[in-house]
């Protein structure tokens, strides 16, 4: 039996348990990325990665582990096991169960014992009678308001809730793209969830359709065109922007203006600046540019505790072909759809929007938005 003593504490704890259950543990060659050790028994060879963060494992870590299983070096593994000592966020689980990987499993450590998570009976998300309004607004055109509104709503549906979008933009792009809405199939035995699109004159604040948890508003870039009685209701406001050098100063100015306009009507909303069209492979340039933004907004963030520039390392919407070509269905005559596969398959926009949901939840104190998971666990 290989000594597992060279592993870090958390990994050793997991490796020892697998050893006791009859698995043979093998340590990888030095500097191997992607997994911590392998466990084999009969024909099974499993790559195991152990996360011992202080906070639950988020969507990007699950995505990275799944990506590892697309690489040629992972072909010799029959399966992968991602074990977290601090659990997983609600949307990391939503992403995983939606991607529907048959080679990877997730596990948690409960009372010192490793348990694999079962997804076939995943509990239905709890209902909430309190509606939460999210506004997607900036006074600049073309930075992704409609794209973000639609896919944020789609992510909420993937995470287990029915959601409404109010199309406040006179251009009515969202209504053109999605018609009355789309249905998102549920994971496992869960019922499907709906993303329904409403025009302002179809939406009654006092009598919202039953079973809806969140309302996303695709705002008009002309602030005055957005009705005050709706903007007042925003618990969150997302200001999309981009991290390109020529736009930086102008965008900074636009964002300050946008915040001032929101505050003229709504003093309490959490206002988040979100980077859209993010190029993850240009990490160095992104660091330099985002530091400019941080400097630009630092005074504002001090005065405004509910205004926040989201560090793209934590949450951003990556540039993607799926989002770029979203809307193609209008011309090809196919039925309305979002830019991510709603059943199965890895996809950057799906991961990014679910990760954004977790981020919003973690950085606000709005309890209606908080989600719980009653996990079904089984012994390995």
By CB under 5 A, name the binding residues for Mg ion.
145-146, 173
With binding defined as CB under 6 A, does residue 355 bind ligand ATP?
A: no
Is 94 in contact with 193 (CB distance < 8 Å)?
Answer: no
**Dihedral sign computed on CA atoms, order 3, 6, 9, 10:** negative
Among positions 276, 308, 342, 371, the unique one binding ligand ATP when judged by CB under 6 A: 276
| Selected binder of ligand ATP within 60, 87, 221, 252 (CB under 6 A) | 221
Binding partner of residue 203 among Mg ion, ligand ATP, none, CB under 5 to 8 Å per kind?
none
Other beta carbons within 10 angstroms of residue 161's beta carbon come to 23
Helix (H) or strand (E) holding 133: strand 132-136
Alpha helices (H) along 21-144:
59-68, 90-99
Shortest distance, position 169 Cβ to Mg ion, whole Å: 5
The least CB distance from residue 147 to ligand ATP, in Å, is 3
Does 12 sit near ligand ATP (CB under 6 A)? no
Residue 203 as a binder of ligand ATP (CB under 6 A): the answer is no
Minimum distance of Mg ion from residue 153's CB (angstroms): 14
Q: Binding segment for ligand ATP among 56-64, 122-130, 199-207, 320-328 (CB under 6 A)?
A: 320-328
Q: Tell me if 11 contacts ligand ATP by CB under 6 A.
A: no
- Closer CB to ligand ATP, 287 or 324, in the complex: 324
> Which residues touch 121 (CB under 8 Å, ≥6 apart)?
188, 189, 376
Minimum CB distance to ligand ATP, residue 364 (Å) = 23
Q: Which stretch binds ligand ATP (CB under 6 A): 107-115, 140-148, 204-212, 257-265?
A: 140-148
Count of helices and strands (H, E) across the chain: 11, 16
Under the binding rule (CB under 6 A), the answer on residue 169 touching ligand ATP is: yes
Residue 170 within binding range of ligand ATP, rule CB under 6 A: no
Question: Of the two residues 62 and 356, which places its CB atom closer to ligand ATP in the complex?
Answer: 356
- Please choose which of Mg ion, ligand ATP, none residue 276 contacts, taking the beta carbon within 5 to 8 angstroms, the exact cut-off set by kind: ligand ATP
Query: CB 167 → ligand ATP: shortest distance, Å?
Result: 10
**Backbone CA torsion sign across 145, 146, 147, 149:** positive
Residues in binding contact with ligand ATP, number by CB under 6 A: 19
**Binds 15: which of Mg ion, ligand ATP, none (CB < 5-8 Å by kind):** none
Which stretches of the chain bind ligand ATP, using CB under 6 A? Answer: 141-147, 169, 171, 173, 221, 276-277, 317, 319-320, 323-324, 326
């Amino acid at each position: 039996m290989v000594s597992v003593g060279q592993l870090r504490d958390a990994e050793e704890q997991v490796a020892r348990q697998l050893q006791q259950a009859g698995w043979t543990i093998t340590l990888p060659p030095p500097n191997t990325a992607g997994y911590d050790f392998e466990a084999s028994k009969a024909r099974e060879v499993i790559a195991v990665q152990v996360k011992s963060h202080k906070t639950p494992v988020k969507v990007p870590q699950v995505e990275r582990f799944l990506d590892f299983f697309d690489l040629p070096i992972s072909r010799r593994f029959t399966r992968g096991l991602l074990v977290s000592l601090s659990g997983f966020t609600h949307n990391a689980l939503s992403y995983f169960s939606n991607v529907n990987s048959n080679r990877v499993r997730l596990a948690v450590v409960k009372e010192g014992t490793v348990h694999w998570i079962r997804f076939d009976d995943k509990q239905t998300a709890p209902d909430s009678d309190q509606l939460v309004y999210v506004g997607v607004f900036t006074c600049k055109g073309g930075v992704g308001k409609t794209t973000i509104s639609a896919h944020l709503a789609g992510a909420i549906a993937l995470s287990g809730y029915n959601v409404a979008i109010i199309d406040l933009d006179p251009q009515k792009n969202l209504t053109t793209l999605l018609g009355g809405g789309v249905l998102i199939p549920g994971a496992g035995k869960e019922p499907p969830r709906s993303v329904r699109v409403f025009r302002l004159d179809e939406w009654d604040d006092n009598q919202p359709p039953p079973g809806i948890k969140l309302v996303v508003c695709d705002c008009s870039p002309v602030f005055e065109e957005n009705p005050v009685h709706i903007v007042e209701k925003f618990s969150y406001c997302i200001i999309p922007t981009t991290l390109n050098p020529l736009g930086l100063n102008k965008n900074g100015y636009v964002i300050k203006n946008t915040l001032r306009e929101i505050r003229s009507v709504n003093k309490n909303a959490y206002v988040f600046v979100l980077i859209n069209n993010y190029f993850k492979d240009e990490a160095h340039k992104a660091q330099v540019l985002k530091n400019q933004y941080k400097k630009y907004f630092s005074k504002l963030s001090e005065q405004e505790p509910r205004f926040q520039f989201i560090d793209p390392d934590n949450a951003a919407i990556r540039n993607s072909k799926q989002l770029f070509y979203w809307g193609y269905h209008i011309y090809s005559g196919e039925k309305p759809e979002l830019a991510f596969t709603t059943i199965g398959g890895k996809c950057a926009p799906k991961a990014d929007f679910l990760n954004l949901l977790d981020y919003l939840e973690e950085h606000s104190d709005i309890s209606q938005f908080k989600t719980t998971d009653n996990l079904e666990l089984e012994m390995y």
